[in-house]
């Protein structure tokens, strides 16, 4: 097998994300592509300026593919109907605050895509919480003049009433499990047949490909899924929460497990530490989902566990000093 160079890793990750990108555009319209393109333009410009200011090679920085991966991840995380400055700000902050302030790719402590995403979620909670109902016909809606006006100017009316839709995690967090199940049973079409689940399965398909090609360490997605499943099972018993399968397939679980937690720069180096790190992501995210104010929680869990990665490596090396790390 060829050496895992950075451009090769990024290329394989981009290829693995293609099914999820295609399903997302099919379900939510071309607004998804607008998000990705806007993030990419802003992130590329900031990367070029920052690298040039630091005296580095702009061609090498842009050629490694990391900006493309960051743009695609952020674009898939954001709602498909936003004014342009929100995805642009997410891309700019992802590169500037998530990567370049630490010295560039390989030196960053936090996952750049999550830094950019969390920044705009906290700054624009209303806009970034507006999701349309999954519908393959939405492409025409997103393409009309009202949607373009919102993208260019931020003038929302009358799109809010037509397109605002609670995601399954939103409904679970605000109304409870019984209301979620009743709603899914009452709504015909894609919402009733699990459109969000289809998107999760698209991430799973790409992720399995990365594991099979050994592009990512299998311990990381396994740890995230185990931590999520175990904590979800505990909440299901203690608080009568949603089933384990719902939490594994809803929200960002599979995306995080295979495409974000597996970032080799921000994850621990030691194998045992990776198990602890990945399981911690699942546990923290589930606690936030069940007890916190954010419907998903994985973005915040990633940042918290990114901060612990050096400590976990240090602890594992001291605790298992003199033993082989398998």
Distance between CA atoms of 223 and 208, rounded to whole angstroms? 14
Of 114-118, 128-132, 172-176, give the range with the top mean pLDDT.
114-118
Q: pLDDT tens digits for 194-217? A: 667 788 889 999 999 999 999 999
Specify whether the CB–CB gap between 31 and 142 falls below 8 A: yes
Query: Residue 179: what pLDDT?
Result: 46
Query: Residue 263: what pLDDT?
Result: 94
Residue 30 contacts by C-beta under 8 Å, 6 or more apart in sequence?
A: 139, 142, 143
For the ranges 15-24, 52-61, 142-151, 310-319, which has the lowest average pLDDT? Answer: 142-151
Cis check for the bond before 158: say yes or no (omega within 30 of 0): yes
Does the predicted model carry a pTM greater than 0.75? yes
With a pLDDT cut of 90, the percent of the chain lying above it is 54
**Mean pLDDT of all residues in the chain?**
83
Asked whether the predicted pLDDT for residue 326 surpasses 60, the reply is: no
- Sign of torsion over alpha carbons 313, 204, 131, 193: negative
Q: pLDDT tens digits for 65-79? A: 999 999 999 999 998
Query: Which of 64 and 239 is assigned the larger pLDDT?
Result: 64
Half-sphere exposure of 100 toward its Cβ, with a 13 Å CA cutoff?
26
Distance between CA atoms of 53 and 311, rounded to whole angstroms? 32
Query: Residue 192: what pLDDT?
Result: 42
Asked whether the predicted pLDDT for residue 105 surpasses 60, the reply is: yes
Query: Residue 129: what pLDDT?
Result: 79
The structural domains of the chain, with segments of one domain joined by +, span: 1-165, 174-195+210-326
Distance between CA atoms of 150 and 157, rounded to whole angstroms? 8
Query: Residue 170: what pLDDT?
Result: 54
Please compute the mean of the pLDDT values over residues 256-261 and round it to a whole number.
96
Query: Residue 250: what pLDDT?
Result: 77
Strand partners, 94: none
Q: pLDDT tens digits for 23-49? A: 998 888 788 899 999 999 999 999 999
Assign 156 a pLDDT band (cuts: 50, 70, 90).
Answer: low
Query: Residue 200: what pLDDT?
Result: 86
Nearest to 102 by CA among 40, 43, 39, 50: 50
Q: Is 136 helix (H, G, I), strand (E, B) or coil?
A: coil
Identify the DSSP state of 131.
B
Specify whether the CB–CB gap between 132 and 138 falls below 8 A: yes
Please compute the mean of the pLDDT values over residues 180-194 and round it to a whole number.
48
DSSP, residue by residue, 228-275: HHHHHHHHHHHS----HHHHHHSTTHHHIIIIITT-TTTS-SSHHHHH
Query: Residue 145: what pLDDT?
Result: 62
DSSP, residue by residue, 39-104: HHHHHHHHHHHHHHHTT--HHHHHHTSHHHHHHHHHHHHS-S---THHHHHHHHHHHHTTTGGGTS
Nearest to 319 by CA among 274, 268, 277, 272: 272
Specify whether the CB–CB gap between 294 and 169 falls below 8 A: no
């Amino acid at each position: 097998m060829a050496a895992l160079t950075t451009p090769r890793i990024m290329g394989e990750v981009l290829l693995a994300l293609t099914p999820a990108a295609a399903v997302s555009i099919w379900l939510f319209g071309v607004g998804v592509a607008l998000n990705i393109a806007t993030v990419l333009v802003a992130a590329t410009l900031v990367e070029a300026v920052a690298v040039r200011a630091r005296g580095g090679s702009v061609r090498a920085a842009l050629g490694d593919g990391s900006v493309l991966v960051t743009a695609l991840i952020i674009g898939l995380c954001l709602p498909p109907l936003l004014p342009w400055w929100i995805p642009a700000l997410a891309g700019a902050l992802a590169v500037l605050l998530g990567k370049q302030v630490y010295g560039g790719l390989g030196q960053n402590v936090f996952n750049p895509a999550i830094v950019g995403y969390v920044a705009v979620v906290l700054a624009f909670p209303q806009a970034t919480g507006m999701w349309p109902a999954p519908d393959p016909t939405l492409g025409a809606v997103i393409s009309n003049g009202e949607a373009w006006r919102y993208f260019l100017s931020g003038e929302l009316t009358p799109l809010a009433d037509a397109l605002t839709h609670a995601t399954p995690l939103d409904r679970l967090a605000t109304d409870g499990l019984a209301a979620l199940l009743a709603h899914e049973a009452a709504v015909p079409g894609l919402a009733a047949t699990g459109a969000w689940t289809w998107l999760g399965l698209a991430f799973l398909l790409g992720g399995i490909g990365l594991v099979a090609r050994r592009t990512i360490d299998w311990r990381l997605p396994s740890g995230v899924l185990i931590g999520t499943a175990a904590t979800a099972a505990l909440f299901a018993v203690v608080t009568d929460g949603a089933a384990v399968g719902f939490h594994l397939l809803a929200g960002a679980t599979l995306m995080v497990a295979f495409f974000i937690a597996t970032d080799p720069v921000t994850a621990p180096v030691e194998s045992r530490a990776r198990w602890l790190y990945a399981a911690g992501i699942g546990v923290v995210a589930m606690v936030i989902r069940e007890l916190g104010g954010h419907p998903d929680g994985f973005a915040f869990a990633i940042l918290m566990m990114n901060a612990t990665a050096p400590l976990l490596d240090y602890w594992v090396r001291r605790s298992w000093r003199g033993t082989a790390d398998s």
